Amino acid sequence: MNFLFLTIDSILFLVLGFLIGRTLGKRHNLDWSTVLFILPNSLISLLRKFGFKLRAGQFSNEEELRDAVDKASQHGLVEESEREMIQSVFELGDTLVRELMVPRTDMVWIEGNKTLRQGLSLALRSGFTRIPVIDENLDNVIGIAYVKDLARRTHERRESEQTETVVEHIRKATFVPETKTAAELLKEMQRDQIHMAVVIDEYGGTAGLITIEDILEEIVGEIADEYDDDEVEVEWLDETRARVSARLHIEDFATSFKVEIPESEREDVDSIGGLLAKTLGRVPIPGSTISIAGIKLTAERPVGRRHRIATVLAERIIDDQETVLEQ
């Protein structure tokens, strides 16, 4: 976690220090006012040549500073990608947490009464190292389970895998309102070294989940996984099995397999991934399986930082039973 905070600090220093300084710190009441950057004389001369007057307190409002960034980009002093990154930082003050969070329907969670073995299995299959722990329902988040805590306990006492429950090893959860700005939350996360927070709606229910990476990604853009590759919508493995994209439209899937999926089964969803989630009643993770219209669908590998399912293995089955298997 310290490495992550160091990365964020480095980005803020290198990208923002050039144009923001204490002016933006005063404007948004952020600790960025401590960011100072000493420009070499040659660069100062070059900036002044293009009409920039680099003196303290030059910018009286955010619009002037934004305009300066745009002019610097037009003159080639700031790369387009750097301009976009700086503008993204400005927008953090206007971006609400609910715009960046993982919505409730996409959250991976675990009940507190599950065993440590079940908790570790879920973490291994989902790819997440921190998982919200609930009591009766998703609106009652009682803590966060850290994989390293569960793994440490099972290493120290092997039998605890079956005899101890997840709730015995949770950490305190942090709750934030969905109307808080991303800039405010980032400041709090850095100050308190919080990595994850549960987002609460106006009625006190769970609206979603947000991590510090969600905010960082808003600044630097989406970070693709090194193992992510181009999706193939339908890849036939043999006569009865095919690997399909989780984004494949249900109608295209039905056409490929020459089956009819009842309208009641696909109501409110468009993709195969959405069909999996709706039928399961929760976010699919690798190994999650359903059978529908004579086809068995099994979620395969996750991709990206949010570990969304990318592909689904589809195979024909003889018995046309629409049985939902447990996740």
DSSP assignment string, 195-227: -EEEEE-TTSSEEEEEEHHHHHHHHH-----TT
Confidence band, pLDDT 50/70/90 cuts, at residue 188 = very high
Structural domains of the chain in order of their starting residue, each with its CATH number: 2-92 (no CATH), 98-220 (3.10.580.10), 234-316 (3.30.465.10)
* Residue of 109, 95, 88, 305 whose CA lies nearest to 198: 109
Tens of pLDDT along 71-100? 766 767 667 767 777 777 777 788 899 999
Tens of pLDDT along 314-325? 999 865 444 444
Q: What is the mean pLDDT of residues 162-167?
A: 96
Task: Work out the number of other CB atoms within 10 angstroms of the CB of residue 277.
Answer: 21
pLDDT at 225: 53
Backbone angles phi, psi at 77, to 5 degrees: -85, -20
Statement: residue 231 has pLDDT above 70: no
* Helices 212-220 + 80-92 axis angle, to 10: 140
Specify the 3-state DSSP secondary structure of 243. strand
Statement: residue 308 has pLDDT above 50: yes
Which residues lie below 8 Å from residue 71, measured CB to CB, with a gap of 6+? 50, 51, 52
Statement: residue 51 has pLDDT above 60: no
195: exposed, middle or buried (Cβ count in 10 Å: 0-12, 13-18, 19+): middle
Q: Point out which residues pair with 241 in neighbouring strands.
A: 315
Beta strand 175-177 with 196-200 is: parallel
Query: Cα separation of 24 and 63, whole Å?
Result: 11
Query: Cα separation of 122 and 124, whole Å?
Result: 5
Q: What is the mean pLDDT of residues 226-245?
A: 76
pLDDT at 37: 40
The size of the chain, in residues, is: 327
Give the chain's mean pLDDT: 78
* Residue of 323, 326, 308 whose CA lies nearest to 247: 308
Statement: residue 292 has pLDDT above 70: yes
Query: Cα separation of 65 and 262, whole Å?
Result: 56
